[in-house]
Structure formats: C-alpha cells, structure tokens
Amino acid sequence: MLELKKISKTFNPGTVNEKRALHELSLSVPDGDFITIIGANGAGKSTLFGAISGSFLTDGGEILLDGQDVTLLPEYRRSKIIGRLFQDPMRGSAPGMTIEENLALAAGRRGWLGHISRQDRECFRAQLRELDMGLEDRLRQPVGLLSGGQRQALTLLMATIA
Ligand SMILES: Nc1ncnc2c1ncn2[C@@H]1O[C@H](COP(=O)(O)OP(=O)(O)OP(=O)(O)O)[C@@H](O)[C@H]1O
Ligand SMILES: [Mg+2]
C-alpha cells in the first residue's frame, strides 16, 4: 500500500518563478491496484511521481510505503523499493552501458562487478523478447543506440524487473 498524506510542493518559493505544483494531495493505493493519474499539461503529474520517488523532498506531508515512512528517505535509497519510468526517455537508463548491463543494475544484482551470469542473460533475453522489439538480440549494444521508444520500453522493464 502506498499512502500519500497531504503532500505539498512549491518550486522556487518567494521568487517570480514560484509555482505551487502540489497542494495537500492525499492518495491511497492498495497492493495490486493499477491506477491512472490524469491531468492537463503542467497539472503536476510528473511532480507527483518525483515526490513519490524522492527526486526532491516535499514541503509538507507524509509518504508511506507498506507502512514505512519514506518521506525523508533519499532518492538513491528509495530506488531500491520504488521503480519508476521518467517522462523523458533519455533519463531512465545509462546510455554508455549495454542493455544487459542496464538490466543487471536494475535487477539489483548484489556485488555486480561487470560479470553477467549465463542464467541472468537468459532471463533478460526472455523478458526482452516479450517487448517484441528485437532487443533480445542486442544485449551487448549500448543503450544510447536505441530509439526513444525502445529506450522507454527498456526502462519500463528495468523499473519492474525487481
Ligand atoms: N523543477 C521545477 N522547477 C520549477 N517549476 C517546476 C519544476 N518542475 C515542474 N515545475 C512546474 O510545476 C508545474 C507542474 O509540472 P509537472 O511537470 O508536474 O506537470 P505535468 O502534469 O507532468 O505536465 P505534462 O503533462 O506536461 O508532463 C508546472 O507549472 C511546471 O512548470
Ligand atoms: Mg509530466
């Protein structure tokens, strides 16, 4: 269960660029629910995802995941328990690393030092095949060679693999 309790975020407070993006937003998402957030451009959707994943700290409110208070947990620690897809396809993966290296990192292989086991490689191949983009035959190519849509699909897989 993900619980947001009255979270708020104002960018650039006290300046001419001040923007109140989230105002006391509360939301409960039970396990297994698939929900869609709909809103106009600039409504605050990406800001909401940024708040949940810890891209910045909120000005107020609480964020709980399975009862654990993650409100003040830094992004790199939240990334262990929260997978995310960025709106910008260039942001969710490392372009200089190969497809299989990106997947190994996302899968959180403990102590991963550049060696990918045959078993892991087969597992990555099988999951990539489901995307039906031929990426299973490009495991050792740098992610920077992929198209925006291919890269976004890979990031979706990375966000859900663990
Ligand atoms: N880092 C930032 N600094 C200043 N203002 C920001 C920042 N990020 C977002 N904003 C502002 O906050 C508001 C919400 O932006 P956000 O990106 O959350 O919108 P969105 O709902 O994701 O829109 P879209 O559908 O266009 O992706 C916008 O007015 C935006 O200009
Ligand atoms: Mg957005």
Domain boundary among 10, 45, 78: 78
**Strands, sheet with 19-29, edge to edge from the N-terminal-most edge strand:** 19-29, 2-11, 60-65, 68-69
Spell 113-132 as b/e; 16+ CB within 10 A means b.
eeebeeebeeebbebbeeee
Q: Is 141 in the pocket of ligand 1 (CB under 6 A)?
A: no
Domain boundary among 16, 47, 78: 78
Instruction: Tell me which residue range forms the domain holding 49.
Output: 2-78
The residue contributing the CA closest to ligand 1 atom 9 is 47
Q: Are 9 and 60 in contact (CB under 8 A)?
A: no
Q: Is 49 in the pocket of ligand 1 (CB under 6 A)?
A: no
| pLDDT for position 21 | 97
The fraction of the chain above a pLDDT of 90, given in percent, is 87
Domain contains 84: no
Domain contains 35: yes
Domain contains 128: yes
If asked whether residues 6 and 74 sit together in one domain, one would say yes
Q: Are 53 and 75 in contact (CB under 8 A)?
A: yes
Name the pTM for this structure. Answer: 0.90
pLDDT band at residue 112 under the 50/70/90 scheme: low
Domain contains 93: no
If asked whether residues 53 and 106 sit together in one domain, one would say no
| pLDDT for position 115 | 84
The fraction of the chain above a pLDDT of 70, given in percent, is 97
Can you tell me which atom of ligand 1 is nearest the CA of 39? 21
**How are beta strands 19-29 and 68-69 bridged, if at all?**
unpaired
Q: Is 15 in the pocket of ligand 1 (CB under 6 A)?
A: no
Nearest to 99 by CA among 149, 151, 161, 147: 151
Six token digits for residue 117:
């086991």
* CATH assignment at residue 68: 3.40.50.300
If asked whether residues 15 and 56 sit together in one domain, one would say yes
The residue contributing the CA closest to ligand 1 atom 2 is 11
Q: Is 150 in the pocket of ligand 1 (CB under 6 A)?
A: no
If asked whether residues 118 and 58 sit together in one domain, one would say no
Domain contains 85: no
- Which positions ≥6 away from 9 have C-beta within 8 Å? 20, 21, 22, 47, 51, 56, 58, 59
Domain boundary among 78, 112, 137: 78
Number of other CB atoms surrounding residue 53 within 10 Å: 19
If asked whether residues 71 and 103 sit together in one domain, one would say no
* 100-111: pLDDT as tens digits: 999 999 988 665
Taking a 5 Å cut-off on Cβ, the residues next to ion ligand 2 are 45-46, 87
User: What is the residue-averaged pLDDT of the chain?
Assistant: 94
If asked whether residues 104 and 141 sit together in one domain, one would say yes
What average pLDDT does the segment 27-52 reach? 96
What does R_g of the chain's alpha carbons equal in angstroms? Answer: 18
- Please tell me the total count of domains within the chain: 2
If asked whether residues 59 and 118 sit together in one domain, one would say no
Domain contains 83: no
What average pLDDT does the segment 118-126 reach? 95
Backbone angles phi, psi at 35, to 5 degrees: -120, 155
If asked whether residues 110 and 70 sit together in one domain, one would say no
